[in-house]
């Protein structure tokens, strides 16, 4: 099971659109030492090719396979958008899980998190969490 730490969790995020949300994620992944500069462009390239919205108010932005050279180490960060972010085509994201993976590890991360968060009720509870401890407790209960 994935372990979510307080350092990997960003609450009360705000973005006008998915591009801005992905920029927030890319900057945080770079600051945390997971990726090199240029990861934002790689994430946007992936998003344009295959949108990363998976349903239930959740998106998993990551880079395309050809850009994994920008990844320093595998990891993920979770972003809460209580007011939601338009992901286009009527889709709204409340929880964004940004992934950096050196091989195909992102598939395992995606699978585990999708299993945990795959229903809108869990997403809405997480979207309304007011503290990191409350979010993590609900995340682990999901």
| Domain annotation covers residue 120 | yes
Please state, in angstroms and rounded to a whole number, the distance separating the CA atoms of residues 99 and 109: 8
Place of tokens 């945990």: 116
| Domain annotation covers residue 125 | yes
| Domain annotation covers residue 126 | yes
| Domain annotation covers residue 106 | yes
User: Does this model's pTM top 0.85?
Assistant: yes
Place of tokens 């338009």: 86
| Domain annotation covers residue 1 | no
| Domain annotation covers residue 75 | yes
| Domain annotation covers residue 70 | yes
Give the tokens for residue 27.
């900057």
| Domain annotation covers residue 42 | yes
67 lies in which domain range?
Answer: 6-141
* C-alpha dist (Å) from residue 90 to 11, 37, 78, 79, 127: 23, 31, 22, 20, 18
User: At 51, which CATH number?
Assistant: 3.40.930.10
Per-residue pLDDT in tens (0 to 9) along the chain, 142 residues? 568 899 999 999 999 999 999 999 999 999 999 999 999 999 999 999 999 998 889 999 999 889 999 999 988 999 999 999 999 999 999 999 999 988 776 666 667 666 666 678 888 999 999 999 999 998 887 7
Domain count, the chain: 1
Could you tell me which of 142, 52, 58, 36 has the C-alpha nearest to residue 106?
52
């Amino acid at each position: 099971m994935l372990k979510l730490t307080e350092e990997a969790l960003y609450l009360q995020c705000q973005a006008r659109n998915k591009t801005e949300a992905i920029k927030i994620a890319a900057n945080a992944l770079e600051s945390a030492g997971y990726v090199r500069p240029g990861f934002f462009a790689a994430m946007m390239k992936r998003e344009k090719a295959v949108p990363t919205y998976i349903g239930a108010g959740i998106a998993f932005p990551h880079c395309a396979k050809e850009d994994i050279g920008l990844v320093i180490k595998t990891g993920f960060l979770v972003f809460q958008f209580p007011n939601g972010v338009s992901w286009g085509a009527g889709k709204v994201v409340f929880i964004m899980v940004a992934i950096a993976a050196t091989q195909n590890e992102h598939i395992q991360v995606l699978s585990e998190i999708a299993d945990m968060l795959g229903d809108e009720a869990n997403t809405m509870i997480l979207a309304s969490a007011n503290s990191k401890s409350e979010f993590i407790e609900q995340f682990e209960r999901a």
